[in-house]
Structure 1
Amino acid sequence: MNVFNYISEAYVELRTQTTWPEWAEVQRLTIIVAVFSIIFALATWGVDEVFSTALAGFFNWIKA
């Protein structure tokens, strides 16, 4: 019964006491997050490629 009360009270609080952002703000912030996620992914990929190339060169240098 306590779980049901908790869920019920949480639902009521979300419906009555939570201030939700405007739809335009949600869209704007979603675009910002998406852009930064893409930038971060590209930066991570770039660093991975640099280290991969450097390590491959290092091991080729050791073998030679």
Structure 2
Amino acid sequence: MAKVTNYVSEAFAELKTNVTWPEWAEVQRLTIIVALFSIIFALATFGVDRGFEVVIANIYSFLKN
């Protein structure tokens, strides 16, 4: 258990001293960019999925008749 505690404390010490953290304004800007691209990608995926759904439904209805 001492090894785990030592590892965690060393990890936090390294995060405090060796990591360069971005400014808060940059974090907000990049978060907005990621959110927008996530929404765009989700809508594109939805559109492709809906398109394939329509195509497959038309194929099945054509084969059924």
**TM-score under structure 1 normalisation?**
0.97
Matches within 5 A, 1:1-64: 1-64=2-65
Distance 2:21 2:27 in 1: 9
- What TM-score does the superposition give when structure 2 sets the normalisation length? 0.95
Runs of 4+ in 1 over 3 A off after TM superposition: none
Unpaired runs of 5+ in structure 1?
A: none
* Alpha-carbon distance between aligned partners in 1 of 2:35 and 2:51, rounded to the nearest angstrom: 24
Counterpart code for 1:15: K
Rounded to whole Å, the distance in 1 between the matches of 2:47 and 2:38 is: 14
Deviation at 1:15, TM superposition (A): 1.1
SS of residue paired to 2:20: coil
Amino acid at match of 2:38: S
Instruction: Give the percent of matched residue pairs that are identical in Structure 1 and Structure 2.
Output: 62
Q: Unpaired segments of 5 or more residues in structure 2?
A: none
The count of aligned residue pairs is 64
Partners of 2:32 and 2:23 in 1: CA distance: 15
